[in-house]
Amino acid sequence: MDPLIATVSDVPSPDATQSPSSAAPPEPARLWAISDLHLSYKGNREELEKLEPRPNDGLIICGDVGETVEHLRQCFTTAKACFKQLWWVPGNHELFTMPSSNGRRGEDKYMECVEVAREYGVLTPEDDFVVWKGDGGPCVIAPIFTLYDYSFRPDHVTLENALEWASEENILATDEHLLHNDPYASRVEWCNTLIERAQTKLAEAVMQNLGTRLVIINHWPLREDLVNIPLVPRFVIWCGTKQTEDWHNTYNAKVVVSGHLHVRRTDWKDDTRFEEVSLGYPKQWRECQERGMDINDLLREILPGPDPPPPGQPATLWRRYGKGTTDTPAIFLKGAKP
């Protein structure tokens, strides 16, 4: 028998002067998030194994775990051992079909990822939303999947010319080769279908939970004005859709969680906090490691989370080194060809 498993008769009698209620109460459950783990990189896989147990807490995994179901399994196995509940939304990398795999494509690839998540009890955009009752709650946790429609572009650039406009600066996302839109005619059509589904589900969540705010989770930013990538500004066309710009107000969001940009930041818009929670490629967070930080320092607390800044203070907090600094933004290059 495990020596830690004792029968009642084996347990020493408590001190008669000690009140049973004097035991320390459990820590309130907190909700954390991280994205863009990119487990195709050995350094990131090794870092994932350093994840520390938070058995009372929840973790949002906000897309771009990797390109294969094996990456998902490694992530879910490790994270599930550390957290009570996991949520996952797809990024563009999960949707890739690698040339050597001859695997599932488009929507089928997405559903394959959902099937893997369900094996581990991980909640996805295809599952019912649940109410978080831990610290910072109650909140409805709302994972969604929207993709992008190339509408994050200047007004003078047409949809038909969007790729040409990006290529003028030698920018071409890997998505154009590896992210297939089967069975839809285009990624725009797939995005529009996903937008309709998400709108319906979010609206129902608001109506069924009147007065309870939402935590909306999506790999791609909901707002174009939160995309800050000066080194590759024309990569913006692969970063979301203008159709979601006011969803934080429409659907009573307390927090919106996203990744994709590899630029950690916190923004306050109206009455909503926006969190970009990327880890990124190893070279992009090497400075954090050099400062003695690891993956646990780069988890972002979503609930209860920080208070909004006082009036007159900046509404954007750059988090290059995790917790939040006033440093200039780290400019990261994601999925683009120089």
pLDDT in tens, 13-28: 334 444 444 555 566 7
| Average pLDDT of the segment spanning 17-44 | 79
Q: How confident is the model at residue 330 (pLDDT cuts 50, 70, 90)?
A: very low
How is residue 301 written in tokens? 């607390």
Distance CA 319, CA 35 (A): 14
Structural domains of the chain, ranges and CATH numbers in brackets: 27-305 (3.60.21.10)
Other Cβ atoms within 10 Å of 321 Cβ, number:
17
Q: Which of 12, 16, 17, 30 is nearest to 305 (CA)?
A: 30
* Strands 130-132, 83-88: pairing kind: unpaired
What's the mean per-residue pLDDT of the chain?
A: 90
Give the model confidence (pLDDT) of 172-190 as tens digits.
999 999 999 999 999 999 9
Alpha helices in 131-259 (DSSP H): 162-167, 175-178, 187-208, 247-250
The C-alpha angle with vertex 114 and arms to 111 and 118, in degrees rounded to 5, equals 140
How is residue 109 written in tokens? 């690839």
Q: What is the pLDDT of residue 329?
A: 41
Asked whether the beta carbons of 50 and 60 are under 8 A apart, the reply is no
Above 60 in pLDDT, residue 323?
yes
Q: How confident is the model at residue 3 (pLDDT cuts 50, 70, 90)?
A: very low
Distance CA 118, CA 232 (A): 36
Burial of 119 (0-12, 13-18, 19+ CB in 10 A): exposed
The dihedral through the CA atoms of 235, 239, 242, 245 has a sign that is negative
Asked whether the beta carbons of 148 and 191 are under 8 A apart, the reply is yes
How is residue 298 written in tokens? 């780069």
How is residue 161 written in tokens? 């010319």
Q: Which of 252, 61, 28, 245 is nearest to 140 (CA)?
A: 252
Distance CA 252, CA 214 (A): 6
| Average pLDDT of the segment spanning 284-310 | 95
Q: How confident is the model at residue 242 (pLDDT cuts 50, 70, 90)?
A: very high
Asked whether the beta carbons of 298 and 272 are under 8 A apart, the reply is no
User: pTM for the complete prediction?
Assistant: 0.89
Q: What is the pLDDT of residue 334?
A: 44
| Average pLDDT of the segment spanning 132-146 | 97
Distance CA 29, CA 130 (A): 15
The least confident of 75-79, 97-101, 214-218, 298-302 is: 97-101
How is residue 135 written in tokens? 């610290």
